[in-house]
């Protein structure tokens, strides 16, 4: 799953730590999601989208391998 979290954070001048605190996870979790090493839960995806005031599809997208 691809994501644009880093871009969205930069637009809001937000650190990984700040985002992590807002959604209730560790900074390491945000780092792993941004690095595409961890797929977040649906709840976490929705929280992140709400923080950035963007639709889920604007931040997260499936790759071809995700369908297989």
CATH number of the domain where residue 57 is located: 1.10.260.40
Query: Domain tally for the chain?
Result: 1
Q: How far apart (Å, rounded) are the C-alpha atoms in residues 45 and 4?
A: 12
pLDDT at position 67, please? 87
Q: How far apart (Å, rounded) are the C-alpha atoms in residues 35 and 24?
A: 19
Q: Kindly state whether residue 32 falls inside one of the protein's structural domains.
A: yes
Domain housing 14: 2-63
pLDDT at position 1, please? 94
Q: What is the pLDDT of residues 8-51, one digit of tens each?
A: 999 999 999 999 999 999 999 999 999 999 999 999 999 999 99
Q: Kindly state whether residue 49 falls inside one of the protein's structural domains.
A: yes
Q: Comparing C-alpha atoms, which of 59, 68, 53, 1 is closest to residue 22?
A: 53
- Provide the whole-model pTM: 0.92
pLDDT at 68 over 90: no
């Amino acid at each position: 799953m691809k994501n644009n979290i880093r871009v969205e954070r930069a637009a809001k001048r937000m650190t990984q730590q700040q985002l992590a605190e807002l959604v209730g996870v560790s900074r390491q979790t945000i780092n792993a999601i941004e690095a595409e090493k961890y797929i977040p839960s649906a709840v976490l995806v929705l929280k992140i989208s709400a923080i950035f005031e963007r639709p889920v599809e604007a931040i997260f997208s499936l790759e071809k391998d995700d369908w297989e």
